[in-house]
Structure 1
Amino acid sequence: MQNAMSVDIEDWFQVGAFETVIDRNGWDGLEHRVEANSDAVLSLFDDAGVKATFFTLGWVAERYPALMRRIADAGHEVASHGWDHARVFTMTPEQFRADIARARKVLEDASGTAVTGYRAPSFSIDKRTPWAHEILAEEGYAYSSSVAPVKHDHYGWPEASRFAFRPVAGAPLIELPVTVAEVAGRKLATGGGFFRLFPGALTHWAVKQVNGQDRPAIFYFHPWEIDAAQPRVVHAPLKSRLRHYSRIPAMAGKLRTLMRRHYWGRVDAVAAREAERMQ
């Protein structure tokens, strides 16, 4: 069973944990580490023989177009993460359409490849945004991976399916929710910070659990999660700092083990197979 490996490309200061303490108008004055960290991720994938999908902010692609080309030239998929990490439920439908159009143009120009996949910042497509999938379908996206079917203080759509579904009647767009483990009737998140903070055995078990149901796992992480030398935001709330910085030094090793134990590929390939399943 081929699972989907994905990376959400954003810099350390663009994360949801710091959105109330770092002014986005000052981003260009901060130390940028996203290019070097993304290159480190490319090296990890190259060593493991894994091809993946890089959901990238248009803001990043505009400043680092050569990085987009390196990602594409290495055989990975370049997909959209929106323009500047604004959550979907903070936008109107018109603003959302403009956001994804702006990001897509920059990503395609920089990478030289077509962008057919989208992931909402902070998994912010949920029951508050019934129009978001409709707009993605109208704009010709093949898939979205924007739903986290869990309950979380920052995001989540716990009522959503754990597995791929068609969110718009009559449209080919499919939604690929990120993988959660189901334990005693509870859904537990397994990617990103959850993978970093909790024992890797939970994610390994979750992958085996969904593969045992003949479904692929959808895994994600961020380049800043392997960067132990990144700046510290000392004025952020303690909870945010604990979430962001804990166990970063262990992350690269855990990723190597995860990639070694399971079979991984690009999200677009997994989406195409799931689409065939639903025909």
Structure 2
Amino acid sequence: MSREGGSIVNALTIDVEDYFQVSALAPHFPKESWNSTPCRVERNVHRILELMHKHEAKGTFFTLGWIAERYPKLVRLIAMEGHEIASHGYGHQRASEQTPEAFLADIQLAKAVLEDIADCEVKGYRAPSFSVGLSNPWAHGVIEAAGYTYSSSVYPVKHDHYGVPDAPRFPYPVGKALVEIPITTVRRLGRNWPVGGGGYFRLLPYPVSAWGIRKVNQEDRRPAIFYFHPWEIDPEQPVVKEASAKTRFRHYVNLERTEDRLARLLQDFSWGRMDEVFLPALQTSV
């Protein structure tokens, strides 16, 4: 069956963190409580791998070092099935809330942990909550110094917790040996609109996301990037009733619909790894 986008392969990315590590819920799950909080990430990642296998999709798993240390067999399974292992940092602290020195230590540790467990080079990094922006212009230099080849840490949209609305929509150099590959947007009415997944994928009807990816493939002739989290296919996760109404809405809206929507997305478009979708073209253009 012919898929949308023609011959273009898009990049499927998964930010491997558990529900209690989400930045918006941080006040309710201090780091000292993580070791005693029941994890659900293993079951959810296994389900994602099954979906991807069924639809012959490959992807990049931006994995926390904290998760990798506790579930090394899961990380090895991801790599064994042909997916890319990339870094989401070690402790899921926003880059914008760290000093350059602390940030470097965190992402170097994550890279070392992941490479040791998966026995492969880790080329990519994604900052928690897309926390690389105007408030920490030094961040890309630190990511390059840590030995990464690419970053996917910028979302060129306006959002109350992240975003660089004026950033380029497509890959751009941010150092001598580092490229930033931003999350996908469409340009309409003088602004960028998010179509790269996350909460928008759960909140808006599926055809909106499909339309956006199709526009990028057909009009821009570019591959899109889509991201989601393992907890987004888990409607049975514990509900934090103490969180604000806004946080609860953003985190729990349409969790029960996400897995079916993902299956449809994997069926409708072609999906591959970040390193294989973007890096060859970037290297030949240098």
Normalising by structure 1, we get a TM-score of: 0.96
Q: Which residue of 1 aligns with 2:133?
A: 126
The equivalent position to 2:63 in structure 1, one of 50, 56, 69, is 56
Residue 259 of structure 2 corresponds to residue 259 of structure 1: no
Question: Within 2, Cα distance between the matches of 1:138 and 1:64?
Answer: 27
Give SS of 2:86's match.
strand
The equivalent position to 1:174 in structure 2, one of 173, 179, 186, is 179
Question: Within 2, Cα distance between the matches of 1:160 and 1:10?
Answer: 26
CA 273–208 in structure 1, closer or farther in 2 if over 3 Å, else same? farther
Residue 157 of structure 2 corresponds to residue 150 of structure 1: yes
Deviation at 1:20, TM superposition (A): 2.2
**Structure 2: any 5+ residue segments left out of the alignment?**
1-7
Question: Within 2, Cα distance between the matches of 1:277 and 1:109?
Answer: 29
Deviation at 1:183, TM superposition (A): 2.6
Q: Which residue of 2 aligns with 1:225?
A: 232
Question: Within 2, Cα distance between the matches of 1:137 and 1:189?
Answer: 27
Deviation at 1:277, TM superposition (A): 5.7
1:120–1:146 contact (8 Å) kept in structure 2: yes
Question: Within 2, Cα distance between the matches of 1:25 and 1:193?
Answer: 27
1:61-104 CA-partner distances (Å, limit 9, x unpaired) = 01111100000000000100001110001011111110001111
Question: Within 1, Cα distance between the matches of 2:264 and 2:101?
Answer: 43
Deviation at 1:217, TM superposition (A): 0.3
Deviation at 1:220, TM superposition (A): 0.2
Deviation at 1:276, TM superposition (A): 3.4
Give SS of 1:8's match.
strand
1:126-145 CA-partner distances (Å, limit 9, x unpaired) = 11121111122223211111
Give structure 1 regions of 4+ aligned residues with deviation exceeding 6 angstroms: none
1:105-116 alignment runs, 5 A limit: 105-116=112-123
Tell me the number of residue pairs that the alignment of Structure 1 and Structure 2 aligns: 277
Q: Which residue of 2 aligns with 1:188?
A: 193
1:5–1:265 contact (8 Å) kept in structure 2: yes
Question: Within 1, Cα distance between the matches of 2:19 and 2:150?
Answer: 26
Residue 10 of structure 2 corresponds to residue 6 of structure 1: no
2:107–2:146 contact (8 Å) kept in structure 1: no
1:36-75 alignment runs, 5 A limit: 36-75=43-82
Question: Within 1, Cα distance between the matches of 2:208 and 2:254?
Answer: 16
The equivalent position to 1:246 in structure 2, one of 246, 250, 253, is 253
Kindly provide the amino acid, as one letter, of the partner of residue 276 in structure 1. Q
2:129–2:162 contact (8 Å) kept in structure 1: yes
RMSD: 1.2
1:143–1:271 contact (8 Å) kept in structure 2: no
Q: Which residue of 2 aligns with 1:208?
A: 214
> Percent identity over the alignment?
47
Deviation at 1:148, TM superposition (A): 0.4
The equivalent position to 1:198 in structure 2, one of 193, 197, 204, is 204
Normalising by structure 2, we get a TM-score of: 0.94
Question: Within 1, Cα distance between the matches of 2:9 and 2:147?
Answer: 25
Kindly provide the amino acid, as one letter, of the partner of residue 185 in structure 1. G
